[in-house]
Structure 1
Amino acid sequence: MPRHRIAFGNNKGGSGKTFMAFQVACEAARARPESSVVVIDFSLYSDLSALMLGGSAREGIGAPMRGLQTCVDATDEDLRAEGLVRALERAAQAREAKGRGGGSSGGGQPRGSVFGTWFARGGKVSEPETEVNILEFAIRPNEFNPEIPKNVYLVAGAGTCSWGEETTAMTDANDVQLWARTGDEWIGAGKVFSDAVDALPKEVDAVFVDTDHLSACVLTKLAFAAMDAIVIPLSYNDMDFNRLFADITKNALITDVLREMHERGQLRALVKKFMFTRVGSTANTPSVTNGGISSPFTPTKTSSAQMDDMARQIWTVCDQPVYKSLFTDVSELESSGNAVQAFSQKYFGMFKLVPELASLISTMNGIPVCGMTSKTYTAANGLSGSTGAAVLNSLKAEISASTQSILDERYNAPISASS
């Protein structure tokens, strides 16, 4: 099975989750060209698919992002994320019919589909299989966007076309939006999904799933039931931080989703890393904050102090048994002389603030930082400019280091100097 299977999650939009997933997945593919990277887009907005397939540029207000238009043109509803989800649910129902388990927790078949009317229909296959091949629903973004490494495979979403009302409408009179649905009918599909990830060919070394900021959505739960680890991109805004634990809409990632899934025996993915995003720096040299957070660059003193404080706050909560069980290998810290510092060192990292022009070019044109050069790029809004080779080289080295901290040292590949 893949050595790394990681979901990116945060219940706050704008935390940098999709941008980080995009950069880390492409860097992982660049660093290990002999292996494959599978990316699955389970965000309702499908922003990661847009980045992979050409960028977020639009021709005007209300127009689709260029990458999502490419997705719609290059795929159909059976060759996208919604096709994968339907196959997962049909396989779960087939298993239950054959007495293999994996159906809804209450026994018997769920009424229609928890995902919507389109998912309740038969699709192309009249006799559903009990296993699912994820790669049957994947495309190679490089065929549409040459900036993406050739060894990336994407199970794409197409925004409204994938998750809009026509697809996800309820089969009964109760019109409940997909993201607000409760119940455990999705569990069987989650078990099939986990098995499908296990069954990926040996050349697939890493699987990444981008989830929605609506953490209680059944699509996000599918990811948390099938991946091994969760990376939580995190701003150091204290209000954003608090929402991880308290959300009046019952959407708090840690309290309302991860803790409840764990208590019900549904959670496979545990928290591996909090990654502070858009962190300002004073130097391009590795550093460690006073609280023990390692960084491939030197953050400002203010940023360091705020990040250390937030790490301590998370420790005070996660030192409780009900939360400690949500973290990978947390028992290793019990013998540490300074448990708080060991906790910060193990579970926290940083992602540098990418200069505005480089960030704009990357997102609007669908170009990962690892593939950028110092040539002049033109964004869809007409803004042109270049990022100096020295700045790009530092960014690439820092993204490489951050990727290794999430994955492992096998992803330590030489950085090609930007020309």
Structure 2
Amino acid sequence: MRNTFRLASFGILGCASLALMVAAVSAAVSVEIPASSSKALEYHHASNWFWGLNQVVGLALPFILLVTGWGAHLYQFAARICRQHRLISLAFFAAIFFLLDRLVRLPVRYRWDRAYDDATGAQSQAFLVWLANKLSASVLPIVGLTLVAMLAYWLIGKSRRLWWLWASAAASIVVLAFLLVEPFTQSYKPLGNSPLEQRIVELAARAGVPQSAIVVEHCDPASSCPPGRVIGMGPTRLMLLNDALLAQNPESWTLQMVAHEAKHFAKDDNIKAFFLLSGLAFAGLCFVHLVTRAVVARWSSGLAFSELAHPASLPLAVLLLSIFYLMVLPPVNAFRQHVELEADRYALEMTRDNLTQAQMFASWASDKGRITEWSPFFKLFRASHPSDVTRIEFSNNYHPWLEGKPLVYASDFSPQKKNE
């Protein structure tokens, strides 16, 4: 009996040592960062110029309408057509303004799309087909922005001093409703009983994600959706997995991706998004209110309106909101990149599989037309995620469990199912 016990003890110690050796080897193997193609680098720099030019065009239109007085003349034209009915005149004027905004951006968008097709080898659409698609896709945004403008000016008419506070509250309610309701607008099916799907359930359960909250969505094409995403907020949260990529990707990649999304679910990161968007709406509308008062006080004689409540002030409001948007992009993007990198950390601490995570990111980085490191401009103004270089290097080097250091998210994982 004593010999049997000794043999069993040696066997257990041997298995544990082997597991630690495998984990150490996995963490020690560094995945190389793929090199970006010259075409991808060329497109990356070109796309920054196109993005910047698109923003300049978007700022130039309302600015020109203001300083030339054409905006006021355009509103007077709309008022005559609508027989001086203020609400209908405003709607017509706003629709014309937002249509003009789309039209003046089209040349930039066309060259931008062609540059992307050249970089990726995709087949370009014929110009008329491309134009028809862009114009048809603009209808809903124009209608939506027109309705938003009508609501904003109605609030301004009701309360000239506190309209921005009521408008930001309305924006927060809309964002809250969207986040809560979005899961009910998606098409999906529950997880099945395949071995992979059961492993997904077991892994997610370690982070407190219930099986009922993990569903599968179908995307056509498959690349139109990410491998996984979390939508909803609070009790409506769902983790959506891309069915095609579940079938195509290695099982280890899928599990690592589930661990990443488990962080967004467990920490309810969409609550952070709600407070961020609500705060931005509050700050942005307050900025418009204060700056408009200063601008009108200084240049009202040349603007053809003396207060923001006049519908002809719409170009000024759009111009100020656009400036505010560009001002807050760098800190907002830095926050979003931080949230995504923390999800990578969470996934590593959950699975302790550095090699798999690094290989997965390296595979994404190898896609045609993709670059591995962001330029400073792209990182500040356009990137919602860390660069592939950042994520691969982090995956290669982050393994505190091998260094005797504490884990950031140790308390988040179910101890009875945690593999030491």
Q: State the TM-score, normalizing by the size of structure 2.
A: 0.24
Larger Rg: 2
Q: TM-score, normalised by structure 1?
A: 0.24
